[in-house]
A and B are shown apart, each in its own frame.
Chain A
Amino acid sequence: MRKLHISRVALAAVSLLLFMIFFVSGCDNSFGILASIQKETRQIGTDVFLKGSVKSTADDGTNLFVAMAKLYRRGINETPGSDAWKVLSIKTSGTTITNYECVGIASLLVGGSPQIFTLLTNPVTREFEGLYSSTDSGETWNSLGGVLLEGNYPQSLYAAKDSLFISVRKKVDGEDRYDLYRHSSGTGDLELCATVSGYNEKILGVWNDGTEYLVLTSQSLYRGADTSSLVKANGETSQPATGTIFRGGGLEPETKDLFLTSSTGKLYRRQKSVAQWTEKTVVSGVNLGMLVAIPASMNPGSTGPRIVIARYDSAYGYLEYDWMSSTYKAGIEGKLIPSETSYSTTLAGKPVTVFHVATTASGNRLFCGSLAATTTTYALYSNLWNPGTNSWKGWEAE
């Protein structure tokens, strides 16, 4: 009986100790819990984004487009949270498509004029349905064909320089394989980018740095003056080690340097001019995800860009990192959910799928799309850059 009594006391003591450790381990003098709560802002967005999932965004300088299950559009200068969002039907010369699943949206300058492109799949089978372009901000659309894509499962739509790129998934011997197709706006033909196709490496992004096309897969970077001459980037100075798992990337818009995130918390920069790599550990051991490089012109006091990086794993959040000084503009090392409540109120707990910077009448606005289907919050937020204070105004639900 006494033994049992001691066991119970010991169990209670251990439980209490574990409880105390759980609480004490999180103590952080630098984070004001009540101060943080005081600053929370009620977010009232548009219903279309409530519990939604944003796949991609694009703008043509006049309108902003968002691909969710359907394609949505609003004027780029409209106020966040307004009811200006409109779901688009794909009206072609012969028919109007309303039953579709939008996979991607992208924009290109064609002959100096902006064009919008969208990639659709069958909402039931998820197989390729159509690739369309619009020169009037989505009012009417033209089919760009796509026989080569039939029977495939399109994943993403990218735009780089003068071309569209479509990544597709297919099954080969029961395993996923990824192909990349290019659609040149000049020729109107689809071609398979053979060098980067047929692998089990997911395609994460396609860019053109003014000299070369750059294609990022989950394990490799490919480069080439033309997509028919893409080769794996090998032998470059300080290149990431073989086996590095990439999670996302983005071009710095002014220098055209490429920034990449990895699964181990590292941020890589590939300098365009010398094809030289530099790496910095942003958050050791943490799976980083999507990024957007904010140019040095929007980073006063620094000669380099600030990189907005989302976290890839389940402890979602993001930080802003000053590349040159290796300091944090928002967020702190080890805890990507930043200490500013305006951020954590809106973006905590959701995987980020896209960052997009658009120039509006009010200034540069950073859009952040996420997967909000399992939350009670919105899938799209935006944040206006305030050049007067050299800071972001704060996230607002769209």
Chain B
Amino acid sequence: MFRSFMKTGLVVGIFCVMVFSAATQADAPGSYAAAFERGDQTISLSTGFQIPLAIIPSDPSATESATLKLGGGFGFTYQYFLSKHLAVGGSLAGAFNGTLGGRTLFAVPLAARIAWWRTSASLQTGISVEAGAYLMRLDSHGMIGPFLKAGPELGWKLTREWSVGARLSSWLIPEIHTGTDSDKTRYGLFGEVSVMATYHL
């Protein structure tokens, strides 16, 4: 657990240093107007922790309450602003969590996105909802299904082109099985805590 935490933390730390370095080289940091306008476009890269919250319904025969470990993830997000508050776009993410048994759960959601942003001075605050599909793998087994993600985001306009910020979101991964295997249907709930860098096109 601690080793996994350290690995993910190291990746996040390196990412932060790289983004900050790139941003400061592009332009001197300072206070820049954070407001969006219709037609603005952004791309964001994020990385952070993937926190397993629950698998529901619970299994009465299970002997352990927490079989997924703290993991990590990354994401790529594109936004197009329809107005100074409303943005639409899409995202591609990847997340991994180790299991108690030494296996690794890997999920890759691809989703459409809608977000509502408010800005104040250099601060950008938003809330987003994403819906799409995921691809999930464990050992040699795979699964595809619908995906839902929602949560708040916070950004600080560091230069004219760059913002840095953080994202806190919940992932809902319904693993739906049909027919005689319908008893294997489960809903995975994960929390994402990540840092992100946004480039304003």
Query: Do the two chains bind?
Result: yes
Residues of B within 8 A of A337 (CB): 139-140
Give the contacts of B118-171 with A (CB-CB under 8 A): 135-144
B101 and A344 contacting across the interface, CB-CB below 8 Å: yes
- With both beta carbons as reference points, the residue of chain A lying nearest to B67 in the complex is identified as A40
CB distance from A82 to the nearest CB of B (A): 18
Q: Are the CB atoms of A26 and B137 closer together than 8 Å?
A: yes
Whether B55 and A41, one on each chain, are in contact in the complex, defined by CB atoms closer than 8 angstroms, is: no
Q: Is the CB of B59 within 8 A of A348?
A: no
A41 touching B103 by the CB < 8 A rule?
no
A residues 319-377 near B (Cβ < 8 Å) are 335, 337, 341, 344-346, 348-349, 375-377
- Of all chain B residues, which has the CB nearest A41? B63
> By the criterion CB–CB under 8 Å, are A376 and B142 in contact?
no
Check A345 against B100 for contact (C-beta < 8 Å).
yes
How far is A25 from B142 in the complex, measured between Cα atoms in Å? 8
A188 sits at the interface (CB 8 A)? no
User: Which A residues are in CB contact (< 8 Å) with B178?
Assistant: 29
Q: Is the CB of B101 within 8 A of A345?
A: yes
State which residues 29-80 of B face A: CB under 8 Å: 55, 58-59, 61-64, 67-68
Q: Cβ of B59 and Cβ of A39 under 8 Å apart? A: yes
Q: How far is the CA of A349 from the CA of B61 in the complex (A)?
A: 25
A38 to B141, CA, bound (A): 15
CB atoms of A42 and B100 under 8 A apart: yes
For chain A, residues 8 to 66, give those with C-beta under 8 angstroms from any C-beta of chain B. 20, 23-43
What's the least CB distance linking A336 to chain B, in Å? 10
Whether B142 and A37, one on each chain, are in contact in the complex, defined by CB atoms closer than 8 angstroms, is no
Residue B95 at the chain A interface, CB threshold 8 Å: no
For A38, the closest partner residue in chain B by CB is B59
Cα distance, A283 to B186, chains bound together (Å): 30
Q: How many residues of A contact B (CB 8 A)?
A: 34
Instruction: Report the minimum CB–CB distance from A162 to chain B (whole Å).
Output: 43
Measured CA separation A350–B165 after assembly (Å): 44
Using known A-B contacts A38-B59, A38-B186, determine if residue A32 contacts B99 with beta carbons closer than 8 Å: no
Whole-angstrom CA separation of A37 from B66 in the bound complex: 9
* A37/B136 in contact, CB under 8 A: no
Q: B177 to A39, Cβ gap below 8 A?
A: no
Inter-subunit contact A33/B62 (CB<8 Å): no
Q: Does B86 contact A (CB under 8 A)?
A: no
A23 touches B101 (CB 8 A): no
> Nearest chain B CB to A29's CB is how many angstroms away?
5
Q: Does B105 contact A37, Cβ atoms closer than 8 Å?
A: yes
| Contact assessment for B175 and A32 in the assembled complex, using a CB-CB cutoff below 8 Å | yes
Whether A38 lies near B62 (C-beta < 8 A) is: yes
Find out whether the CB atom of B99 lies under 8 angstroms from the CB atom of A37.
yes
Question: Within the complex, what minimum Cβ distance (angstroms) separates B183 from chain A?
Answer: 8
Contact across chains for A344 and B103 when beta carbons are under 8 A apart: yes
B55 near A345 with CB under 8 A, answer: no
Shortest A252–chain B CB gap in Å is 31
Residues of A within 8 A of B138 (CB): 33, 36-37
- Of A33, A43, A315, the residue contacting B141 (CB under 8 A) is A33
Interface residues of B in 77-120 (CB under 8 A from A): 99-103, 105, 108
Q: What is the 8 Å Cβ interface bit string for chain A, positions 226-262, against chain B (1 contact, 0 not)?
A: 0000000000000000000000000000000000000
Interface centre among B101, B139, B178, by most chain A C-beta atoms within 10 angstroms, is: B101
Asked if B108 and A23 sit within 8 Å, CB to CB, the answer is yes
**Most B-side CB within 10 Å, residue of A37, A344, A376:** A37
Q: Are A27 and B142 in contact (CB under 8 A)?
A: yes
Interface pair B135/A41, CB less than 8 Å apart? no
Q: Which residue of B lies closest to A349 (CB)?
A: B102
CA distance A315 to B140 in the complex (A): 10
A32 and B68 CA atoms in complex are apart in Å by 15
Q: In the complex, A38 Cα to B63 Cα: how many Å?
A: 9
Alpha-carbon gap, A290 to B141, bound state (A): 24
User: Which chain B positions have C-beta within 8 A of A335?
Assistant: 140
Given contacts A23-B137, A28-B141, A40-B67, contact A35 B108 (CB under 8 A): no
**Given A32-B184, A34-B188, A344-B101, A23–B142 Cβ distance below 8 Å?**
yes
Asked if residues A26 and B142 are in contact (CB atoms below 8 Å), the reply is: yes
A341 to B68, CA, bound (A): 13
Docked-complex contact A348 and B144, CB < 8 angstroms: no
**Residues of A119-172 whose CB lies within 8 A of B:** none
Q: B175 to chain A: which residues have CB within 8 Å?
A: 32-35
Kindly supply a per-residue 1/0 record for chain B positions 170-201, scoring 1 wherever the CB is within 8 Å of any chain A CB and 0 otherwise: 00010101110101111110000000000000
Q: Are B101 and A341 in contact (CB-based, < 8 A)?
A: yes
B102 contact set on A, CB distance < 8 A: 345, 349, 375-377
Cα–Cα distance between A42 and B1 once the two chains are bound (Å): 13
A32→B100 contact, CB < 8 A: no
Return chain A residues, CB-CB under 8 Å to B142: 23-28
Measured in the bound complex, the distance between the Cα atoms of B59 and A189 in whole Å is 59
A34-B188, A337-B139 known, 4 other contacts, Cβ within 8 Å:
A23-B135, A26-B140, A27-B143, A348-B101
Can you name 19 A-B pairs with beta carbons within 8 Å? A20-B135, A23-B142, A30-B177, A37-B67, A38-B67, A38-B186, A40-B67, A41-B100, A41-B101, A42-B63, A43-B101, A315-B140, A335-B140, A337-B140, A344-B103, A345-B103, A346-B101, A375-B102, A376-B102
